[in-house]
Amino acid sequence: MIRFILGGASAGKTRFAINSALKYPEKRIYIATGIPIDNEMERKIEKHKRERGDNFITWEEPYNISSLLKRVTSDIKVVVLDCLTIWSGNVLLKDKDPLKEAKKFLDLFQKLHMDIPFFVVSNEVGMGIIPDNRLSRQYREILGEINILFSQVADEVYFMVAGIPWRIK
């Protein structure tokens, strides 16, 4: 069961995913896709670690999120994947196709018949200005397509605005 959480930067997506996942018993998994490439990212990663505390087992995977699906065993009760935005950028900068990798993830997810709650976080990047460079435009288009894919297969979709979740599917 996929619960897809979209929204702008710092809109409360991760907090909502974590708080929702805490309603389930342990064993809880948090899949972190961020890489601490600078001070700002280091602070964001530390903030997310504080938010989830000791309530989750953390799996760090900045590139191959599909490989982690095979590690999800029957004793795991809930998973938070945070986030597709950072992950797709990581994959794109490795000269790989994030859209192809997202399809691979969803195909495997469906083949494995995952029936546990899987909270997936992503940013809505299509509501701003048109980026001024080719790579940024390419990234925006790819992430937009990935968000569409996840929204189509998700059981529930939430759009976060100022910390308020709006269920849109």
- Residue 14 to residue 82: CA distance in whole angstroms: 7
Alpha carbon distances (Å) from 140 to 54, 86, 143: 34, 12, 5
Count of the separate structural domains present in the chain: 1
Q: Band of the pLDDT at 15, cuts 50, 70, 90?
A: very high
By three-state DSSP, how is residue 34 classified? coil
Looking at every residue in the chain, the average pLDDT score rounds to 93
The pLDDT of 13-42, averaged and rounded, is: 93
The tens digit of pLDDT for each residue in 131-165 reads 899 999 999 999 999 999 999 999 999 999 999 99
Instruction: Report the Cα 149 to chain-centroid distance in Å.
Output: 13
Residue 56 in this model has a pLDDT that exceeds 90: yes
- Residue 83 to residue 67: CA distance in whole angstroms: 16
Residue 106 in this model has a pLDDT that exceeds 90: yes
Question: What are the DSSP E strand ranges found in the chain?
Answer: 2-7, 28-32, 57-60, 78-82, 118-123, 156-161, 164-167
The pLDDT of 120-140, averaged and rounded, is: 92
By three-state DSSP, how is residue 140 classified? helix
Burial of 2 (0-12, 13-18, 19+ CB in 10 A): buried
Amino acid at 136: S
Alpha carbon distances (Å) from 34 to 72, 93, 157, 162, 167: 20, 13, 22, 22, 26
The pLDDT of 63-72, averaged and rounded, is: 91
Active site residues: 48
Nearest to residue 14, comparing CAs of 49, 38, 40, 42? 49
Q: Band of the pLDDT at 111, cuts 50, 70, 90?
A: confident
pLDDT at 32: 93
The pLDDT of 37-44, averaged and rounded, is: 86
Instruction: Please give the residue that has the higher pLDDT: either 45 or 132.
Output: 132
Host domain of residue 130: 2-167
The pLDDT of 87-93, averaged and rounded, is: 95
**CATH number of the domain to which 66 belongs:** 3.40.50.300
Residue 119 in this model has a pLDDT that exceeds 90: yes
- Residue 76 to residue 78: CA distance in whole angstroms: 6
Highest mean pLDDT: which range of 92-96, 113-117, 119-123: 119-123
Exposed e or buried b for every residue in 56-73, given b needs 16+ CB within 10 A? beebebebebbebbeebe
